[in-house]
């Protein structure tokens, strides 16, 4: 049995990764360490509650004593580090927690990993640090896509905090030899995404007949990666990635925001039999400060070295994503009303 620590396993990507590993890696035991901030939802893993290969640990990555305890108790073979504050708009209105969690939290986790390797010399161990393409900054419309060699140039407090954590992760490899692999991926979408990010926000606003806010002129471009593809890439990075290396993970699906919102309007209308076009709900609103124009990922190295290429097309996976939200309205409503947090308090307050 491989013992794998996933941090942030109750968030969007973490929840999908827990499920992906549980399904595809029957000899891996998953430990999910999550503080259950507003973005964490333990209901995502209700089906695994009594599963012998899954264990939830309610705790904070900035808690060194807790990290020491769980590393000593479970002797992990690897870490997938996803726990973070992840929303750019929140980082603009309240940056401090981004430093605490993304920078200090990552530092504490690297320290715990390093102590663990020192206590178990010769034991196989890998630390996958999950990061974002936003660390590379903003591309012009005609510029070539980000490669692993692109210089860091973060714009938002979120991307600055992720860039800092990437530097620490790489420094722990160079200085102390900790077997760290860094992955930088593009915008994910799929089931369990908190409805503050563009795609789930627009789906739910369409269903509720609310305005669809598009920042600026809707011309900003993102490369969209279906979360299941991302999970496959992360497992490959863990199994095949070389310590000290960075791997860019993209979906190869560049779209501007207006194209995404139009596609969502048309698909939701089609699926719900709505007669009046939801495009009428689109409202162009004040732009985000420091809004990066374009992200695009060159995944050649990742494809050649760890054999990953995204399999899901944007069209198909967007349709699957909408179906998931339509089929899981109880999840969505409990998140929208905040009821999931009451459930958390009942379960975990002592
Ligand atoms: P998310 O916000 O949905 O989930 C974050 C999870 O981390 C939540 O479960 C939350 O409770 C937990 N968490 C937050 N602070 C914590 C702390 N101090 N201790 C323990 N747990 C804590 O985020 P996501 O979208 O799933 O992103 C996961 C990772 O992937 C992040 O590191 C993010 O930077 C990176 N990433 C995300 C995207 C994307 O499109 N969503 C793209 C590139 C990279
Ligand atoms: P978001 O999902 O917040 O991801 P990120 O900022 O990390 O790329 O936003 C995706 C794009 O959509 C980004 O260019 C900002 C834009 N956007 C809107 O136009 N309206 C919205 O309400 C949101 C949340 C985002």
- Ligand 1 neighbours, Cβ below 6 Å, are 7-8, 10-14, 34-37, 39-40, 60-62, 82-84, 86, 101, 105, 130, 132, 162, 185, 187-188, 194
The number of the ligand 2 atom at minimal distance from the alpha carbon of 220 is 14
Catalytic site includes residue 189: no
The atom of ligand 2 lying closest to the CA of 261 is: 19
Ligand 1 centroid, distance to 207 Cα (angstroms): 26
| Residue 292 confidence (pLDDT) | 98
**Alpha carbon of 122 to ligand 2 centroid (Å):** 44
Six token digits for residue 323: 């179906």
Confidence of residue 111 (pLDDT cuts 50, 70, 90): very high
pTM: 0.98
> CA-to-CA distance for 279 and 328, rounded, in angstroms?
23
SS3 212: strand
pLDDT tens column, 185-209: 999 999 999 999 999 999 999 999 9
- Catalytic one among 134, 223, 253, 292? 134
Residue-wise pLDDT for 67-110, tens only, equals 999 999 999 999 999 999 999 999 999 999 999 999 999 999 99
Q: Which of 60, 133, 292, 303 is catalytic?
A: 133
142 belongs to the catalytic site: no
Identify the pLDDT of residue 1: 87
Q: CATH number for the domain including 318?
A: 3.40.50.720
Identify the pLDDT of residue 349.
65
Q: Assess whether pLDDT exceeds 60 at residue 350.
A: no
User: Residue range 260-265: average pLDDT?
Assistant: 98
Write out the residue range of the structural domain in which residue 113 sits. 2-348
> Which of 98, 222, 292 should be mutated for ligand 2, with most atoms under 8 A from CB?
222
The predicted-structure confidence for 31-68, as pLDDT tens digits, reads as follows 999 999 999 998 999 999 999 999 999 999 999 999 99
User: Token digits for 300?
Assistant: 């050649």
**Residue 162 alpha carbon to ligand 2 centre in Å:** 17
Residue 18 pLDDT level (bands cut at 50, 70, 90) = very high
Is 134 tagged catalytic? yes
The average pLDDT across 252-271 equals 98
The pLDDT of residue 345 is above 80: no
Question: Given the CA of residue 187, which atom of ligand 2 is nearest to it?
Answer: 8
Tell me whether strands 180-185 and 246-249 are parallel, antiparallel or unpaired.
Answer: parallel
For residues 310 and 250, the answer to whether their CB atoms sit within 8 Å is: yes
CA dist list (Å): 212 to 219, 302, 317 = 15, 35, 21
> What is the count of structural domains for the chain?
1
């Amino acid at each position: 049995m491989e013992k794998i620590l996933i941090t942030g396993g109750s968030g969007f990507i973490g929840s999908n990764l827990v499920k992906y590993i549980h399904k595809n890696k029957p000899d891996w035991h998953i430990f999910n360490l999550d503080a259950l901030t507003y973005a964490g939802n333990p209901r995502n893993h209700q089906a695994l509650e009594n599963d012998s290969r899954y264990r939830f640990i309610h705790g904070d990555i900035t808690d060194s004593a807790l990290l020491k305890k769980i590393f000593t108790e479970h002797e992990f073979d690897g870490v997938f580090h996803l726990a973070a504050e992840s929303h750019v708009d929140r980082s603009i209105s309240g940056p401090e927690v981004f430093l605490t969690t993304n920078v200090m939290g990552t530092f504490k986790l690297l320290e715990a990993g390093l102590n663990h390797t020192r206590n178990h010399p010769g034991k196989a161990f890998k630390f996958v640090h999950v990061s974002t393409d936003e660390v590379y900054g903003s591309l012009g419309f005609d510029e070539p896509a980000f490669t692993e060699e692109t210089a860091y140039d973060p714009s938002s407090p979120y991307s600055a905090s992720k860039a800092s954590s990437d530097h620490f992760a790489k420094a722990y490899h160079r200085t102390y030899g900790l077997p760290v692999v860094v992955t930088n991926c593009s915008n994910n979408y799929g089931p369990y995404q908190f409805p503050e990010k563009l795609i789930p926000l627009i789906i739910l606003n369409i269903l509720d007949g609310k305005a669809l806010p598009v920042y600026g002129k809707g011309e900003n471009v993102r490369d969209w990666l279906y979360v299941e593809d991302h999970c496959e890439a992360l497992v490959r990075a863990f199994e095949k990635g070389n310590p000290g290396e960075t791997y860019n993970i993209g979906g190869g699906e560049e779209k501007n925001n207006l194209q995404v919102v139009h596609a969502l309007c048309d698909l939701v209308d089609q699926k719900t039999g709505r007669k009046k076009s939801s495009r009428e709900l689109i409202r162009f609103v004040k732009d985000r400060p420091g809004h990066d124009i374009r992200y695009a990922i060159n995944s050649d190295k990742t494809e050649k070295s760890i054999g990953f290429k995204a399999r899901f097309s944007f069209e198909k996976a967007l349709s699957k994503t909408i179906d998931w939200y339509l089929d899981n309205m109880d999840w969505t409503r409990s998140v929208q009303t905040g009821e999931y947090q009451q459930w958390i308090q009942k379960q975990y307050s002592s």
